[in-house]
Amino acid sequence: MILYELHCSADHGFEAWFKDGAAYDRQAEAGEIVCPVCGDTRVAKALMAPRLAKGRADGEGAVAEPDGEAVRMREALMQLRRHVEANCDYVGNRFAEEARRIHYGETGYRNIYGEATDDQARELSDEGIKVGRVPWLPRTDS
């Protein structure tokens, strides 16, 4: 496992764990890494000093554990995911279309979640439709 210090295009800094450098490269190229502050997917590695794990008494290498704040943030995001999934309808990539239908009264009000591109989210905002972006964590660790 490797921990990278990352920055989004809005210069928000955050850390993320990856299986290896190639895993980071694949996820970054696919736009799968999301800034937890603003939802931006344009992220880059920041300059950082290497963090080396200290050996255990039995001679085996130990893996550094994430700090307490990172663990608390991850749990809060997982709790948010569970709440959204339990209380909202999943509409997949039809999110922008469904949000408009609800906003313009073409269908009844309900809480929804799904996927939208950056352009779709901007267009919804320009139309006065309030949407929020949540960094969606996978259900299990990498």
pTM of the model: 0.52
Mean pLDDT by 10 residues, the chain (142 residues): 86 87 88 87 77 56 66 85 91 96 95 92 93 78 48
Q: Distance (Å, rounded) from C-alpha 135 to C-alpha 109?
A: 24
Beta bridge partners of 89: 112
Radius of gyration of the chain (CA): 19
Q: Which residues contact 7 (CB under 8 A, 6 or more apart)?
A: 13, 14, 43, 44, 46
